A and B are shown apart, each in its own frame.
Chain A
Amino acid sequence: MQRYEDMETQKTVQTVDVSEYQYGFNFPDASVFKTRKGLDADVVRQISGQKQEPEWMLNYRLRALESFWKKPMPSWGADLSDLDFDNMYYYAKPAGGVSRSWEDLPEGIRKTYDRLGLPEAEKKFLAGVGAQYDSEVVYHNLQENLSRQGVIFCDPETAVREHPDLVRKYFGTVIPYGDNKFAALNSAVWSGGSFIYVPPGVKVDIPLQAYFRINLENFGQFERTLIIADEGSFVHYIEGCTAPVYSTDSLHSAVVEIIALPNSRVRYTTIQNWSSDIYNLVTKRAVAYRGATVEWVDGNIGSKRTMKYPSVYLMEEGAHGEVLSIAFAGGGQQQDTGGKIVHSASNTSSVITSKSISKDGGISSYRGLLKVAPGLDNVKSKVVCDALILDEHSHSNTYPYMEIESDNVSIEHEARVSRISEEQLFYLMSRGLDEAEASMMIVNGFLDPLVKQLPMEYAVELNKLIELEMEGSVG
């Protein structure tokens, strides 16, 4: 009785390859609350109701929905013409107690996890298998430790309930819902994500990872993350996982806001590997006040289309912003990524470094904006984009926009496009490496200066992922 409905549901939501069904891939869906297909004010009300939100948040969502209808689709960037808003689900609440079994997952995904050598617990978590997680204790210790220092680290739903003052003060201030169509969409239907507040002077000594939190909604399609680093504090947040995130939805549209108050420092690392049918359209923006530093490290592997340009607004003197972006575009993929820095004060500096790899017909584009407001002094910026193209079917584009309205500005811009040359391959092969390994070494070498800046375990996983991509066995 339930079955037919479920099957239909699965088909549309997952847009999985039909061949995956042969592995018996379906979920017992009976106890999951799901809004109906498509989007309207009722759906938004239902989402808000499920979360038992206060009136102000519901109203915010409804205003955002109005804005979503009015905003045009971006007319630039990746090709989004296949995206069908009416044919999507916007909220599904995984119910506790219902767990999918590991064996139910498509073989390809299981294999990938195995090859990445992820710990069993993490694998299951990523796969959405089982709500219980062995390291719950670890998480509790961490939470205790953090709350002793006054650090708040929870999901945004909890923050709305328990820290409404902070949320109302900062939520949507960096990225207003009217910013762009996808920010509006997220603001209307957001669910899951992270909320972090670090009090003045507190330096959080371990990176905070959403992965610590046992909540299936963490990696939902419309995550909402808000980080507030109070004066003189430090925090490093790591989003997502390097394993291909198994999502039942074809659109991932997150919003991430960071507020770096005077003299604080925030580092935000993402290494994401969505499955190859995902549209990954994310708005990430930070504001940095006097003497504050914000660093985005953003790795994009997988997905069908990615549009993501982490940005930093340097609001006051002494602020510094960095964006480090890595993209890998394989067959059928378009990675449209880059960074955006806005200098709004004198004595501010910024660096954007972008490395992209295109293979098997993939297209990677760097799109960057560097803006310097009028009347500023001593502004420094450096933009470096490097693209590596692995074969003649693949492409790379560079769109470095600059709007410089002050004179005392030092700007460096380098862009390089390289191809793996026959001579390089021959050289490595003449020492015993076969062609696949030789290209792999060249690709790893290309990324090395950047990978070195990642936390160790991320660097290792990123390398492994790229290896899998090179073999064409992911996705």
Chain B
Amino acid sequence: MELRIHGLHASIEGKEILKGIDLTLPQGEIHALMGPNGSGKSTLANVLMGHPSYEVTGGEVYMDDIDILSLEPYQRARLGLFLAFQYPVEIPGLTAGKFLKRAAELRLEDGGKLNVSSFIRELRAHMDFLEMDHQFINRYLNEGFSGGEKKRMEMLQMLALQPAFAVLDETDSGLDIDALKIVSKGVNSLKGPGFGALIITHYQRILNYIRPDRVHVMVGGRIVRSGGPELVERLEKDGYDWLKSQAAAEHAKV
């Protein structure tokens, strides 16, 4: 399967943020998406998942031959798209366990039935893997979680739901080095022919643990450069300025 984005334009409150994005993410690959603050990375993540505040003004997004832009977020999720939120939302009164069980059920093909005891067993194994206290599934979803705990909960959901494609929006931000390793471990454990990931990040350090196949740089709502992992080192060394001025120059030409 492939996640294909073609000439995607999107705006919020009448202001255009994404100005023509082209990006293809095949399963089996991990891509990194970097770019300065406000360049539109989260916007892309939200538009892919179908956030109702954004208006798509052009382009298309396919998962294989399905045009997902006309689908509701829940339909995209059931097709296997997953978004790890930059700011996970608190749902008071809804236990993480109950929620995860329901979400896992919905990931099954029509008519499939979740084996609850084996689901719980697996969930415990995932929590051990992510070094989370088992008590977390009895807590209300994200309520009162620390920043790092929220990110781990996102990873736990990803492991439990086994998506076909995952977009991780700054899952590494605000994590201490141990947590960073754990999150990376989570992504790496899914790595394989049935999984593709787009990792949005500001830091090289996570890419020391997760080896990206490709790196894209977004500036001003466009992907201005794509390349191999070596691109990350250049960014780390020189920042975004050289790309910004290039982009400005190119834009001026148009």
Contact = CB atoms under 8 A, between A and B. Distances in A.
Contact of A430 (B77, B92, B94): B77
B94 A432 contact: no
A426 B52 contact: yes
Interface string B60-96: 0000000000001110111000110100110111100
A441 B99 contact: yes
Contact of B93 (A423, A435, A445): A445
B241 to A, nearest CB: 34
Contacts of B52: 422, 426
Contact of B74 (A433, A445, A446): A433
Interface string B143-181: 000000000000001000100000000000000000000
B93 A448 contact: yes
Contacts, number: 77
Given A422-B53, A441-B99, A445-B140, A429 B74 contact: yes
A435 B157 CA distance: 19
B51 interface: yes
Contacts of A97: none
Contact of B89 (A427, A433, A441, A446): A427
B233 to A, nearest CB: 33
A434 interface: yes
Contact of A429 (B77, B91, B107, B140): B77
Interface string B101-143: 0110011000000000000000000000000000000001100
A130 B114 CA distance: 42
A69 to B, nearest CB: 47
Contact of A441 (B77, B83, B94, B161): B94
Interface in B20-72: 49-53, 72
Given A422-B53, A426-B51, A445-B140, A431 B157 contact: yes
B119 to A, nearest CB: 15
A446 B92 contact: yes
Contact of A445 (B85, B88, B94, B157): B94
A445 B103 contact: no
A431 B103 contact: yes
Interface in A410-469: 421-424, 426-435, 437-438, 441-442, 444-449
Contacts of A435: 72, 74
A422 B77 CA distance: 17
A424 B91 contact: yes
A430 B47 CA distance: 11
Contacts of B92: 445-446
Contact of A442 (B49, B94, B103): B94
Contacts of A422: 52-53
Contacts of B157: 431
Nearest to B102: A433
Contacts of A446: 92-93
A467 to B, nearest CB: 14
Contact of B106 (A423, A432, A444): A432
Nearest to A452: B93
A428 B91 contact: yes
B92 to A, nearest CB: 6
A432 B74 contact: yes
A176 to B, nearest CB: 41
A444 B77 contact: no
A422 B103 CA distance: 19
Contacts of B78: 432
A429 B73 contact: yes
B212 to A, nearest CB: 23
A49 B204 CA distance: 90
Given A441-B91, A442-B91, A448-B94, A430 B83 contact: yes
Contacts of A428: 91, 99
A437 B102 CA distance: 10
A110 B82 CA distance: 42
Contacts of B72: 429, 434-435
Contacts of A448: 93-94, 140
Given A441-B99, A445-B140, A430 B49 contact: yes
B198 to A, nearest CB: 15
B88 A427 contact: yes
Contacts of B76: 430
Interface of A: 421-424, 426-435, 437-438, 441-442, 444-449
Given A423-B89, A442-B94, 5 more contacts: A427-B91, A429-B50, A431-B106, A433-B74, A446-B92
9 contacts: A426-B52, A429-B73, A431-B74, A432-B103, A433-B103, A435-B72, A444-B94, A445-B91, A445-B93
Interface of B: 49-53, 72-74, 76-78, 82-83, 85, 88-89, 91-94, 99, 102-103, 106-107, 140-141, 157, 161
Top 4 nearest A-B pairs by Cβ distance?
A: A445-B93, A448-B93, A432-B106, A445-B94
